[in-house]
Structure 1
């Protein structure tokens, strides 16, 4: 960045050079840094005002400049409190990284009206934005993203509704087609089974029970004739496999 004009020697009657922009205007879009000055002098609370004075943010008509011309430290509060007009004060210091200047208008030793704030961060000077501008920028950005979110959501909902209507129509058509196909298949399967039943011979009778197997008594057998005595011995039930003897058992 081009270095702004340097302050002239402290001589009475010598007008200071004009700043790039009138002091007090919105200059939040620019910053200032002079690497040559930083390489030559340390950045501390005693010399930081001299560094700030060579920036375009400095107002040459301030009370601090009058003290500089009188070889008085420009931040001396004992002298500034006795003057009226525009002045700069050093509010916060975190050497060597952060220095905060406040531009204010002094009407009396007790009455001071803040105007603007500047800060020097790692050798770069910025103008701090006003609180109303910060709120306006944040609200504008929030409204932009909210509007964008609603637009995106509306476009996606339109696509979802369009796809759902298509899916419903396709599902209805497929359902009707499927029901018709299933009804025809049922008739076709019944016809095939009936034709096979007519062509095939009747099922053979079940094979007879093995020799010596006695079927389990049924309910009719339990309610048999009264001529059978209750104490008459009955033949025990035999397993057709186990009771045929060891010779007919399977060997593993």
Structure 2
């Protein structure tokens, strides 16, 4: 039995995109949001036990908000699943038709030539998948996700090994060196304060921290010190995905 490597590669790409999107932007934020809301409700209920009527009002309010969130989450997930299914089917069908036509026109072409043609189609299919992924991530980009990515960036920063901070301290001794924080959306003053505090906590003497916006990041941030970068944004994730795909293809 002959394996259609193009279809197989496309299925893997779509699966990885779906897994990455669900893990990074659906399951983890949903679980974190529900955990924070549950903690907030429990705290409010504990403080309001003296007044039964107030406790019931808070409980009703929480239940209503949770129901609205679950409904919105269900709609968003259903829409995303439907779009992925339709696009995957369309690409598979189009690719199958294209390959069938090419095989009919090139029945007499030698094995090496045929491999080159199929490889060109694989590259084209990969490019289409990357463009589709970029379009989906662009639609998902929002200040709400940006705020969550700020939290994740600070977690990644705090998790760097001490050896890495030693290198950064050495780099920071260079004249004019400073931390540049680039974000897709304008950061709130509180977010800027948290980032500056996190940098100052690990790099002494403190370095200047500047902030700028770059919509090409789509959503997320990039923390830079000279040639060193700590990336957590859609654009760099897509670039890494494309580089990995090209590496596998080569």
Asked if TM exceeds 0.5, the reply is no
Q: State TM-score, norm by structure 2.
A: 0.22
Larger Rg: 1
Q: State TM-score, norm by structure 1.
A: 0.22
Give the structure with the higher percent strand.
Answer: 1
Structure ranking higher on relative contact order (CA contacts 8 Å, 6+ apart)? 2
Give the structure with the higher percent helix.
Answer: 2
